[in-house]
């Protein structure tokens, strides 16, 4: 999912005709246009396979269901539910993204029959051993970042804008992101993440985009590579559908225990 997931991590490009003067203004204009282009999906459901690889290339696989609900008044809502492996079946992550404050996230652990709130200071930690942090899995609202356009550059044969964004949240595990966004279709192709020591930590590659409802581009493959550990996590999406009738009541703490 592009918006609201990491997964999310989506920017788009605004046709620049003198509307933005400074690199910061230009970056903000790009982010705002990206947000507008992502509006109107209402809700979505999909199936996701998570493939974890260690530095030797050994794999482990998990299968999940992903649900999302658009919330124009604030950040979007999402729910991720594990179906496999057996010892993680029923584990679920609920995210309430916010525009002007720290996101709320809860993890349901069926073995303990307990809903655990993820503390803001812990959102930079890994989600169930993957290379995706909890903060990577929330909706990337415009207000969460400061922006700066860097340059135009070609990536994989596509003309792109390259821009930085800086997390406002002091508890973020990142000092900045650098993203490559293609000009033709406003899709994020690559994001570099820099840690609190300002060193390159991870790179996210988003590929195999499909167009849904003649409007919404979604990557079917999102691969996060950790440069410091050599590990990677691949997210493979399928069976995606929009406007399925999900409601806010499907994204409450009580709904976590029913998410099977």
Tokens of 117: 């709130």
Tokens of 12: 């788009």
**In this structure, what DSSP letter does residue 99 have?**
S
Distance CA(76)–CA(65), nearest Å, equals: 17
Structure-model confidence comparison of residues 139 and 146, the more confident one: 146
* 123 within 8 A of 106, measured Cβ to Cβ: no
- pTM recorded for the entire structure: 0.89
For 100, half-sphere exposure in the C-beta direction (CA atoms, 13 angstrom radius) is 2
pLDDT, average across residues 106-112 = 91
Domain ranges of the chain: 23-258
pLDDT digits 0-9 by tens, 147-160: 999 999 999 999 99
Q: Which CATH superfamily is domain 23-258 in?
A: Lipoprotein localisation LolA/LolB/LppX (2.50.20.10)
In what helix (H) or strand (E) does residue 35 lie, and over which residues does it extend? helix 23-37
pLDDT tier at 17, thresholds 50, 70, 90:
very low
């Amino acid at each position: 999912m592009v918006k609201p997931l990491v997964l999310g991590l989506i920017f788009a490009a605004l046709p620049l005709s003198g509307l933005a003067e400074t690199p910061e203004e230009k970056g903000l204009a790009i982010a705002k246009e990206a947000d507008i282009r992502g509006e109107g999906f209402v809700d979505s459901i999909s199936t996701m396979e998570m493939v974890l690889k260690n530095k030797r290339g050994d794999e482990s696989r998990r299968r999940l269901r992903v649900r999302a609900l658009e919330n124009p008044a604030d950040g979007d809502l999402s729910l991720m539910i594990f179906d496999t492996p057996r010892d993680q079946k029923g584990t679920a992550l609920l995210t309430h993204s916010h525009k002007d404050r720290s996101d709320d996230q809860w993890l349901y652990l069926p073995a303990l029959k307990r809903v655990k709130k993820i503390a803001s200071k812990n959102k930079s930690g890994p989600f169930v051993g993957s290379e995706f942090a909890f903060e990577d899995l929330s909706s990337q609202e415009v207000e969460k970042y400061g922006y700066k356009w860097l340059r135009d550059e070609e990536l994989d044969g596509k003309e792109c804008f390259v821009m930085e964004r800086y997390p406002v949240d002091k508890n973020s595990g990142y000092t900045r992101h650098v993203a490559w966004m293609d000009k033709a279709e406003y899709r994020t192709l690559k994001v570099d993440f820099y840690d609190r020591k300002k060193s390159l930590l991870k790179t996210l590659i988003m590929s195999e985009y499909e167009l849904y409802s003649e409007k919404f581009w979604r990557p079917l493959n999102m691969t996060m590579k950790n440069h410091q550990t050599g590990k990677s996590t691949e997210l493979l999406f399928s069976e995606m559908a929009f406007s399925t009738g999900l409601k806010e009541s499907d994204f409450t703490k009580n709904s976590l225990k029913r998410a099977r």
